[in-house]
Amino acid sequence: MAPVDTIASRPLTGAVFAMGLALLVTSAHADVYVYADEHGVEHFTNTPDHAHYQRLSSLMEAYGKGNRAGAEALKGNVAAFAPQIEKAADEAGVEAALVHAVITAESGYNPQAVSRVGAQGLMQLMPATARRYAVKDAFDPRQNIRGGTRYLRDLLDMFDNNVELAVAAYNAGENAVIRHGRRIPPYRETQAYVPKVLALYRKYRTLL
């Protein structure tokens, strides 16, 4: 994929963005697919190669209809965090759409999320990354968003504003991308993560 240059983001209120999120969730054009394997691990792709994959937008729409409280909580978090995301993105010179895409993929806007490898908070910062960006409390949304967004800015600088490689590095680490010839590392998780985030990024760009 050709590099995608970052552009200045525009202010957006949390309420308006929450409305836009509903459009994103129910969009028939979000061609990202997901399936959970026998270990409960979710796999994402934009090129499904077997029948176990289901369209993510359809699952999200069903989730919203069948779990109204959960859907409302998600939209509430988006509305609450949108101003902080906008501020951090503006300070770092990163598109807010990209930050929203990463948060959606990493934690689903859950500020208390913890991964099986110890990544924490909205942008799933590893402890070493949190320390690197002076994040003292990774579960504090303001600190987490600011640290994660600054990390994204550094990755974009490192890979000449190539969003695809910056996203790959956010998932696998910058050294892995460099070690594999400045290409997406051949890790199953990263190979699934990159198209998922880029698909979300494109959709959020139409809303911001």
| CA proximity to 123, closest of 159, 133, 181, 160 | 133
- Report the alpha-carbon distance of residue 138 to residue 69 in Å, rounded: 26
What's the whole-number average pLDDT of the chain?
78
H/E element holding 42? strand 42-45
Pick the residue with more confidence: 74 or 28?
74
| CA proximity to 121, closest of 163, 75, 41, 136 | 136
Query: What is the set of domains in the chain, with CATH numbers?
Result: 14-205 (1.10.530.10)
Residue 153 pLDDT > 50 = yes
Per-residue pLDDT of 140-152, as tens digits, reads: 999 999 999 999 9
At 80 the pLDDT is 84
Q: Is 42 a catalytic residue?
A: no
- Which of 14-23, 71-80, 95-104 is the most confident on average? 95-104
- Tokens of residue 201, six digits: 């990024």
**Annotated catalytic residue within 38, 61, 86, 106:** 106
- Tokens of residue 2, six digits: 């050709």
pTM of this structure: 0.71
At 73 the pLDDT is 60
Pick the residue with more confidence: 142 or 51?
142
